[in-house]
Amino acid sequence: MTSDIKRHIKELISGSENSEVEFKSAKGGLPESFWETFSAFANTNGGIIVLGIKEKNGIFMPDGLNKQQIDTYKKRFWDCAHNKEKVSATMLAERDVYETDIDGNFVLLFRIPRASYDIRPVYLTRNPFGNTFKRNHEGDYHCTDSEIRQMFADAHHATLPFDNQILPNYSMNDIDVATLKGYRQRFMLRKDNHPWNELDDFNFLCKIGAYRVDRENGQEGFTRAGILMFGKTESITDQVCCPWYFVDYQEKLSNNTNERWSDRIYADGSWNANLYQFFFKVYNKLSQTLPAPFLLNGIERTEETSAHIAIREALVNCIVHCNYAEQGNILIVREKDKITFRNPGRMLISVDDFYVGSQSVCRNPIIQKFFIQLGYGEKAGSGADYIVKGAIDNKWHIPALVEHVQPDTVSLYLYLNDANDTSYDANNTSYDANDTSYDANDTSYDANDTSSNEHGQRLTKETLINRVLEICEDWITIDEISEKTGKSRQYLRGRIIPEMLKLGLLEKQYPDASTSPNQKYRKKQ
């Protein structure tokens, strides 16, 4: 284990700082900036702090700390970590703090996990305002008061989700009749013998959660979810509900570079722009642009490909995970080579957890239930599986899910180009200059992945998993696994490795730095 730590630290030093790795000189003691980075990593995506490394002319080298200094800093850290006057949450366990020497120079490595949504914000002193940090590509930055308040709101999500809050003074007059009629028709076609089909409109809305009674205080009324899904536009954008609400679909398929878009769906006053209407308008548009549109029987689909399912799940995912309390808007952009699904807010789970499907925390669980009643959306955390499967079945590049800060947004990029087209730049997100997180070099992915191994033999999935287990007796990088199996790193990273992690067959060397370029895997001990 010690040799692994030494090797990892040397790999870090030979690289450079990034959004998930920070080196800090400690010649003069435990630096105060350590705690700012601690807070920033915890409130963003986690990361690694290496204490005892200085930078000179762009080169990182050890401070020359001795064992006594390291012991002093370690004690100082644990004293402060358990002191609420210093930091609001400890989070780290003994296994997250390593000490080792590199050629006689001692260093301390701290693995800071991404804090779960229910303990964010992680802040310094007892006052979060002015003492809470996040991480961006430039380093640590002070969170704004609105960012801090949103993190506190997220922390209480389990108690009362934003979409389940009761809105005062709303009535059936705020419900769009055509929307409710359309929803009930789809509900009836899917569940023709369901007892709710016999109810009047108001009682039906009560049953599905669009209207509820608070048993503790006796308050009753339409939920925010009910108005967002079924409401009239002006009722949704009222100050009481979601004043910043705006939904936007842009189609950019024209060869005319002077056109900002070739088609657009947005709240222009000609329709009630609630979530139900927006979903079906956009879904039908996206479906029609696919190579093989599904067939219709009345208003319901009779044939649907994995491509349609992937797009549908991505669209539902965008809607149910949107933070409607924040400024910003849902934006769906259809371009020739990709579809972008963007929503304000950040995820309540990590990107890795989203792909692995190990847990699912929906920001808007009532809205999610509305879609589930129609057979859309997945509550068990397998929505990502359908999205990735659609890409694999259609030989597209693996979708990329990216979290942004300043402002907080989440973007899902569904690439439509042939994964074997190595001339395609999957990092081309020209309308978002700040999005540089997708690996443009990952262009060799074969979605069906029927490539041969190094001996020219084709591997079944089961054989490949067994082969990976044989290879991973000790810690090994994904590039090494790719070399030994003859499979592309994109296929391994997008499908095989996440599945093996989910099944408990593999473990990560750096579990709290999942996107580290130095990540390694081994057979679960």
Residue 6 maps to which CATH number? 3.30.950.30
SS3 category, 229: helix
pLDDT above 50 for 452: no
Is the C-alpha dihedral spanning 11, 15, 18, 21 positive or negative? positive
Is 420 contained in some domain?
Answer: no
355 and 481 inside one domain:
no
Place of tokens 């003859």: 486
Q: Could you tell me which residues come within 8 angstroms of residue 94 by beta carbon, excluding any fewer than 6 positions away? A: none
- Mean pLDDT over 146-172 rounds to 93
**Residue 391 banded pLDDT, cuts 50, 70, 90:** confident
0.85 cut: is pTM over it?
no
- Residue that is last in its domain, among 383, 415, 447: 415
DSSP code per residue over 353-418: HHHHTS----S-HHHHHHHHHTT-S-TTS-HHHHHHHHHHHTTBPPPEEEEETTTTEEEEEEE-SB
Is 408 contained in some domain?
Answer: yes
407 and 311 inside one domain:
yes
- Residue that is last in its domain, among 378, 400, 415: 415
pLDDT above 80 for 13: no
329 and 368 inside one domain:
yes
473 and 342 inside one domain:
no
For residue 176, the cross-strand partners are none
Residue 516 maps to which CATH number? 1.10.10
Is the C-alpha dihedral spanning 297, 300, 306, 307 positive or negative? positive
92 lies in which domain range? Answer: 2-143
222 and 80 inside one domain:
no
137 and 261 inside one domain:
no
Is 150 contained in some domain?
Answer: no
408 and 471 inside one domain:
no
Question: Residue 40's pLDDT is what?
Answer: 96
176 and 60 inside one domain:
no
Question: Residue 5's pLDDT is what?
Answer: 59
For residue 418, the cross-strand partners are 396
pLDDT above 80 for 89: yes
- Residue that is last in its domain, among 388, 415, 442: 415
Average pLDDT, the chain: 84
Is 232 contained in some domain?
Answer: yes
226 and 99 inside one domain:
no
Q: Strands 21-24 and 47-51: what pairing?
A: parallel
Is 151 contained in some domain?
Answer: no
Q: Could you tell me which residues come within 8 angstroms of residue 324 by beta carbon, excluding any fewer than 6 positions away? A: 162, 163, 224, 228, 242, 244, 245, 344, 364
74 and 211 inside one domain:
no
134 and 184 inside one domain:
no
385 and 476 inside one domain:
no
Q: Say how far apart CA 240 and CA 211 lie, in whole Å.
A: 16
Is 430 contained in some domain?
Answer: no
Name all contacts of 461-470 with Cβ < 8 Å and 24+ positions apart: 461/496, 464/496, 465/496, 465/499, 465/500, 465/505, 468/492, 468/496, 468/497, 468/500, 468/506, 469/500, 469/505, 469/506, 469/523
Is 451 contained in some domain?
Answer: no
Q: Say how far apart CA 27 and CA 66 lie, in whole Å.
A: 10
Is 96 contained in some domain?
Answer: yes
pLDDT above 50 for 47: yes
